[in-house]
């Protein structure tokens, strides 16, 4: 499979990206084998196979690539762990991202994701998607144990994932509560950055790099703090771009329909407009919003 066929922006070498994609069947087998090994009924297997293939495999794989890229530069020599473990961890980021996306689409009443209808809108899914979201999150910790249980930094890695997952939930809560409880005139850049730091920036940009540092034993000190600060700032820039595209992007190209404005989100274009507007413009914006 060539890079062009994948249609994704490649941050790592084509060879490594091919290895990453090629590892997916092994990852899926590890997940489904865990189900069958517990002597559980077989009838859900086809459903969970579809859940994993249609939701986890699709996407930009940005977080996975960021982790693999960071690992490439952080480790001066090949890590003692097998390459498969690192490829598995790269996919764990994508699984956790998928869980977040499923929940986000439900709460935002979204209709399209990645060019097709949202998972929860499928007739055979609907509210089962809530359980799917929780299941995918917990699968991440099962896979962390499978691939890294003997690693000396295993507990630190798990702790980092728990911390980032909690932040993600807090950020999602802030996002929804701001939408439902705060009048738009109280939206501010400070509130916006706090939502983004918790919901998007930490998991999406800080955790992948931090995980590589943790596995290398370099997760303490000023270097870690500086990298965390840079990663969070990149996360904010990413979300600003995403918010802009949500409003002005072509759904055919973005693969999703704009919902931020209709849902009354504390999104960057709204916050920026409120900060830059005069009193007349501000009033007109608040009335329309």
Question: Mind listing the pLDDT tens digit for each residue in 68-111?
Answer: 999 988 886 555 558 899 999 999 999 999 999 999 999 989 99
What does the chain come to in residues?
289
Percent of the chain with pLDDT over 90: 63
Prediction pTM value: 0.90
What is the pLDDT, as a whole number, of residue 288?
Answer: 78
Q: For position 138, what pLDDT does the model report?
A: 96
Question: What are φ and ψ of residue 220, in 5° steps?
Answer: -130, 160
Residue with tokens 């930094």: 153
Name every residue whose Cβ is closer than 8 Å to that of residue 1 and which is 6 or more positions away in sequence. 18, 21
What six digits make up the tokens of 217?
A: 């034993």
- Estimate to the nearest angstrom the gap between the alpha carbon of 250 and the chain centroid: 22
- In this prediction, residue 257 carries a pLDDT of 73
Which residues lie across from 117 on neighbouring strands?
112
Q: Residues of the chain whose pLDDT is less than 50?
A: 1-6
CA proximity to 175, closest of 198, 152, 206: 198
pLDDT given at position 200 = 93
For tokens 């980092």, name the residue: 160
HEC profile of the chain: CCHHHHCCCCCCCHHHHHHHHHCHHHHHHHHHHHHHHCCCCCCCHHHHHHHHHHHHCCCCCHHHHHHHHHHHHHCCCCCCCCHHHHHHHHHHHHHHHHHHHHHHHHHCCCCEECCEECHHHCCCCCCHHHHHHHHHHHHHHHHHHHHHCCCCCHHHHHHHHHHHHHHHHHHHHHHHHHHHHCCHHHCCHHHHHHHHHHHHHHHHHHHHHHHHHHHHCCCCCHHHHHHHHHHHHHHHHHHHHHHHHHHHCCHHHHCCCCCCCCCCCCCHHHHHHHHHCCHHHHHHHHHHC
Domains and CATH numbers, the chain: 1-149 (1.10.600.10), 151-289 (1.10.600.10)
The CA distance from 217 to 263, in Å, is 43
Query: In terms of C-beta distances under 8 Å and separation of at least 24 residues, what long-range contacts does 248-255 make, across chains too?
Result: 251/112, 255/112, 255/113, 255/114, 255/115, 255/116
């Amino acid at each position: 499979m060539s890079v062009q066929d994948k249609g994704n922006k490649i941050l790592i070498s084509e060879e490594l990206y091919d290895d990453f994609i090629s590892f997916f069947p092994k990852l899926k087998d590890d997940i489904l084998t865990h189900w069958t090994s517990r002597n559980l009924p077989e009838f859900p297997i086809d459903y969970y196979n579809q859940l994993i293939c249609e939701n986890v495999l699709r996407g930009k794989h940005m977080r996975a690539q960021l982790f693999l890229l960071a690992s490439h530069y952080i480790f001066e020599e090949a890590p003692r762990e097998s390459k498969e473990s690192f490829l598995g961890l790269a996919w764990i980021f994508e699984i956790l991202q998928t869980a977040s996306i499923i929940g986000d689409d439900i709460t935002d009443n979204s209709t399209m994701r990645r060019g097709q209808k949202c998972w929860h809108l499928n007739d055979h899914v609907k509210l089962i998607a809530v359980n799917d979201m929780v299941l995918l999150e917990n699968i991440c910790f099962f896979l962390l144990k499978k691939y890294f249980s003997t690693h000396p930094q295993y507990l630190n890695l798990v702790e980092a994932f728990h911390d980032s997952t909690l932040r993600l939930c807090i950020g999602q809560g802030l996002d929804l509560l701001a939408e439902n409880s705060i009048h738009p005139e109280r939206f501010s850049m400070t509130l916006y950055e706090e939502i983004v730091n918790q919901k998007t920036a930490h998991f999406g940009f800080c955790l992948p790099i931090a995980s590589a540092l943790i596995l290398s034993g370099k997760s303490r000190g000023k270097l870690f703090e500086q990298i965390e600060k840079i990663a969070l700032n990149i996360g904010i820039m990413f979300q600003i771009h995403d918010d802009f595209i949500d409003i002005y992007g072509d759904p055919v190209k973005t693969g999703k329909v704009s919902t931020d404005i209709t849902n009354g989100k504390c999104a960057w274009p709204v916050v920026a407009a409120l900060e830059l507007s005069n009193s007349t413009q501000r009033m007109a914006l608040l009335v329309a919003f």
